[in-house]
Amino acid sequence: MTKFLYHRRTFNSQANLLRHRLTHTGERPYECELCHKRFTQSSTLRQHLFVHSRRYPYKCQECGVRFHRPYRLLLHRYHHTGEYPYKCPQCGRSFLLRRLLDVHQLAHAGRQPHVCAACGAAFAAAPQLRQHNCGKPGGRRFECPTCGKKAASAARLRAHERLHDPPNPAETLAAATPPRRPAPCAKNFECGDCKKLFSTETSLQVHRRIHTGERPYPCPDCGKAFRQSTHLKDHRRLHTGEKPFKCEECGKAFAIAVRLAEHRRIHTGERPYRCEACGKAYRSFSNLWKHRKLHQRQ
């Protein structure tokens, strides 16, 4: 056994000891030659290189979508199963990481978790917290208790947490209302077919279905298939007759939040979609798109 001087933890090999010491020193000895991002482990660097090579070795057995990291595949599988791999036996809630389940179970036992003051990560035991080094003191501080994702603010964390639970109609309507333009973010994921750039791997994966024709979300009622699970949810309301989005002005109800947002412009007079060729404006992008075809025929 090899003993580490900081807190007497023992390891069964010199390699494991050296890897553990990096959590205390903050050293990242493995550098990507393409983008110069650094990592603590060679295995993490190898996974990162898939981003540049556009290799996606981790395949979903349900729909065939591929990912370059197993973590991303676990996140994706939630859309098929509705559950993460670690399930609480007491309340049924599921978690992406075993550590997050352990922290959750402390609540059932009436105990408090151990929280990192630098990044907000929570641990079930004090030794786990001592071994942890987020490497970003004062950086991202808010951790999702379900999947471990960190956010820069409490507001962004709340927005992320809504992805784990179905939103109520009011929240969905707010999401459908055009927000103020956010600050631009880096777009490092390029589509190999059309060269369009995306800021996240998930956005790229969804976009690629346009080229492959893949529609992994079929409707169980009529068989119609969709590229995104959110589109399937909207479609199924056509079968159930559910119309949860109601106009406060006239009482008309809609199955899809976007349709209500378009309808409200009848009352406000807003026409945000303008034709660059002739200046004519429309309440919805679909109407503008149909109008543009008239110019194309000319």
Query: Which of the pair, 138 or 60, is modelled with greater confidence?
Result: 60
Q: Is residue 33 part of a domain?
A: yes
Are 228 and 271 in the same domain? yes
Q: Are residues 235 and 262 in the same domain?
A: yes
Q: Is residue 192 part of a domain?
A: no
Residues 86 and 139 in one domain: yes
The domain boundary, picked from 158, 173, 193, lies at 158
Comparing 174-178, 229-233, 270-274, which segment has the lowest mean pLDDT? 174-178
Whole-number mean pLDDT of the chain?
A: 74
Residue of 176 and 124 predicted with greater confidence: 124
Domain closes at, from 158, 179, 197: 158
Residues 117 and 137 both lie in one domain: yes
Please indicate, yes or no, whether residues 92 and 150 belong to a single structural domain of this protein.
yes
Q: Are residues 41 and 71 in the same domain?
A: no
Q: What is the average pLDDT across 213-217?
A: 81
Residues shown for the chain: 298
**Amino acid (one-letter) located at 172:** T
- Residues 222-239 have a mean pLDDT of 83
Domain shared by 42 and 97, yes or no: no
Total number of domains in the chain? 3
Confidence of residue 106 (pLDDT cuts 50, 70, 90): confident
| Contacting residues for 233 by C-beta, under 8 A, at least 6 apart | none
Whichever domain contains 42, its CATH number is 3.30.160.60
- Dihedral sign, Cα of residue 92, residue 98, residue 99, residue 105: positive
* pLDDT at residue 76, as a whole number: 74
- Examine residue 208 and state whether it is found in any structural domain, yes or no: no
Show the tokens assigned to 232: 């399937």
Using pLDDT thresholds of 50, 70 and 90, give the confidence band for residue 54. low
Are 15 and 79 within one domain?
no
**Structural domain boundaries enclosing 31:** 1-55
* 164, part of any domain: no
Measured from the Cβ of residue 248, the count of other Cβ atoms closer than 10 Å reads 8
Look up tokens 């991303």; give the residue: 72
- Whether the predicted pLDDT of 175 surpasses 70: no
In a domain, 109, yes or no: yes
Count CA atoms closer than 13 A to 181's CA, side-chain side.
1
Whether 142 contacts 117, CB under 8 Å: no
Task: Quote the tokens at residue 131.
Answer: 């071994």
CA 264 from centroid of its chain's CA atoms? 29
98 in any annotated domain: yes
- pLDDT tens, 122-136? 777 776 776 666 654
Task: Tell me the C-alpha distance between 230 and 200, whole Å.
Answer: 18
Q: What pLDDT is stored for residue 12 in this prediction?
A: 66
Domain boundary among 158, 178, 204: 158
Is residue 87 domain-shared with residue 139, that is, in the same domain? Answer: yes
Q: Does a structural domain hold residue 195?
A: no
Residue 256 counted as domain residue: yes
Residue 173 has pLDDT above 70, yes or no: no
- What's the pLDDT score for residue 241? 85
> pLDDT of 245-279, one tens digit each?
888 888 898 888 888 888 888 888 888 888 888 88
Residue 24 sits in the same domain as residue 71: no
Percent of the chain with pLDDT over 90: 0
